[in-house]
Amino acid sequence: MIAPTAQADAPAREVPTRGVDRVLRGDARRIAALAGITAAIRLAIDAVLPARVLSEDFHIWDMVTGVLLRGENPYAVSRLLFYPPLWMQVLFVLGKISNRTHVSLAHLIQVVLTGIDVVIVILAYLFMRALGVGPRAFWFVLVGIALNPISILLACEHGNFDALVGLLVLATAFALVAWSRGAASSMWLIACLTLGLGILAKTVPLIVAPLLFIRWRETDWATRVVGVALVVGPTLVGVSVLYVLSPQDVVADIFQYRSAAGWFGVSGLVNILGGAQAVRGYSSVYPLIALAVVTAATVAVARRRALSDLTIVLAAALLLMWIPPLGSGYGPQYTGWFLPIAVVLFAIAPGKLRASLAVFAVVALLTYLVEYAFIPTQGAFLSLVAPHTTASIGSRLSSPTAATLLRLPLFFAYLGFLTIGVLMLLQSSRVKGAVLVKSGG
């Protein structure tokens, strides 16, 4: 018999394993802390926030749910839904639960939005760790999302579901980074699936579709067909059912829908300078601008054989963040589309880009605190302590001109970030053989 070697008899080294275990346990504790803090803050505010300071959206959801529970089609009856049917289905389930438990629909919506934020902080932390951000990832997520007053206001007081879009875009970017690093094509299909679900929630994530052309030459035709089906299939099936039931309403409310124009950014300034007719003119041109952006982004990504982590995250943020200031309409809840990916970008961004994000964050925070403190349709939480003053100021801010001027610093903050980000992308496109970003911390 061959005697066993000394190496075989030697005990296995356990130090590296213990080191990995310590890291994993540390990550698990940080994730649990982030999830707990996120949920505790939002649920505590939900428990004490009176219904009279909830935004107009809560009342809209209540009306839509009432239509659903009567067995009617809200796209034909209420004319209050302007997107594919995912949120309608959520409202139907929450309405049934509310009827059986006697918990208000508003509280159930707040719980759902809190749950979405919990998933966001977990995924954002894991994404940062995958990008090479060290233990500081905990603080980026804690300050940027869990304790962020904007995120809290959107979940507790505003009550719209744009955070779901932000979550699914974040998941798409995460999967695309893994795919760009050399993962199997199944990871690309996951990116297609999460983007498709995002489009099912609101059509706006379609603007991120050009990023799916990362490493597209390395996929076969069968994979591409499945990917396309995952991107457009859920929305096509859902909207087609609605279309059969009410074709004219679906065309008007989903296909031709435009956000409220004249309240922010370019549409707001056009309204001040040229009035409603000028706004309608810009709204008719905007789809061509959006098509040009998507086409340019698709060509740029398809021509590149590799993209760095930073480029992927930055491109996803830019594709979403140009819409609120330059689009044909606006809603303050749109921040939920890009807030998670912007926080991840901040964690890995170089100097000027990070500085522009920091400026944007400060300006946005101040703007949102004023808006949600005074404007009635957004809740006007300050009315709890100073009702007369809040009503007086709120009425003055509740006009397109006043809102546009109030948000003017935010508009310039958007433009500052967009300018620096686009210039950085253009500069990186001239550098061949992009290297993966590794951010320590």
pLDDT tens-digit map of 316-349: 999 999 999 999 889 999 999 999 999 999 999 9
List the structure tokens of 361: 């964050």
C-beta separation of 401 from 270 below 8 A: no
Provide the CB-side half-sphere exposure for 263 (13 A, CA).
14
List the structure tokens of 10: 């030697």
Measure the CA–CA gap between 57 and 378, rounded to whole angstroms. 8
Measure the CA–CA gap between 321 and 414, rounded to whole angstroms. 8
pTM exceeds 0.85: yes
pLDDT at 15: 39
Could you tell me the sign of the dihedral formed by the alpha carbons of 52, 264, 124, 354, in that order? negative
- Rg (C-alpha) for the chain, rounded Å, is 23
List the structure tokens of 119: 């998933």
**Closest CA relative to residue 78, chosen from 94, 96, 61, 57:** 61
Residue 102 banded pLDDT, cuts 50, 70, 90? very high
pLDDT tens-digit map of 182-204: 999 999 999 999 999 999 999 99
Q: Which residue has the tokens 């620096």?
A: 420
Measure the CA–CA gap between 341 and 175, rounded to whole angstroms. 13
Instruction: Provide the 10 A C-beta neighbour count for residue 30.
Output: 19
Inter-CA distances, 425 with 296, 306, 420, Å: 13, 13, 9
Measure the CA–CA gap between 59 and 419, rounded to whole angstroms. 38
- Vertex 313: Cα angle to 321 and 170 (nearest 5): 80
Instruction: Provide the 10 A C-beta neighbour count for residue 121.
Output: 26
Inter-CA distances, 424 with 176, 341, 429, Å: 20, 17, 9
Provide the CB-side half-sphere exposure for 147 (13 A, CA).
8
List the structure tokens of 345: 């970008």
C-beta separation of 232 from 195 below 8 A: no
Per-residue pLDDT at 14 exceeds 80: no
As a three-state string, the secondary structure of 418-435 is HHHHHHHHHHHHCCCCCC
Per-residue pLDDT at 256 exceeds 80: no
Residue 162 banded pLDDT, cuts 50, 70, 90? very high
| Residue spans per domain, the chain | 26-429
pLDDT tens-digit map of 393-440: 999 999 999 999 999 999 999 999 999 999 999 887 765 444 444 444
